[in-house]
Amino acid sequence: TGKQQSILGFFSKA
């Protein structure tokens, strides 16, 4: 059912 992505791949460190 697909590979679980990390939230860090979408939101940048502020």
Partner 1 sequence: MLEARLDQAEILKKVVDAIKDLVQDCNFDCNDSGIALQAMDNSHVALVSMNLQADSFAPYRCDRNIALGVNLTSLTKVLRAAQNTDILTLRALDAPDSLNLVFESQDKDRISEYDLKLMDIDQEHLGIPETEYAATIKMPSVEFRRICTDLMALSESVTIEASKDGIKFTCSGDIGNGSVTLRQHTNVENEKENIEIELSEPVALTFSLKYLVNFCKAAGLSNTVTICLSNEVPLLVSYALTSKAGSNLRFYLAPKIGD
Q: Site residues (CB under 8 A) for partner 1?
A: 1-14
Q: Shortest Cβ distance from residue 11 to partner 1 (Å)?
A: 4
Q: Shortest Cβ distance from residue 2 to partner 1 (Å)?
A: 3
* Residue 5 Cα distances to 13, 14, angstroms: 16, 20
2-8 contact pairs (CB < 8 A, 24+): none
Tokens of 6: 């990390």
Q: Shortest Cβ distance from residue 9 to partner 1 (Å)?
A: 7
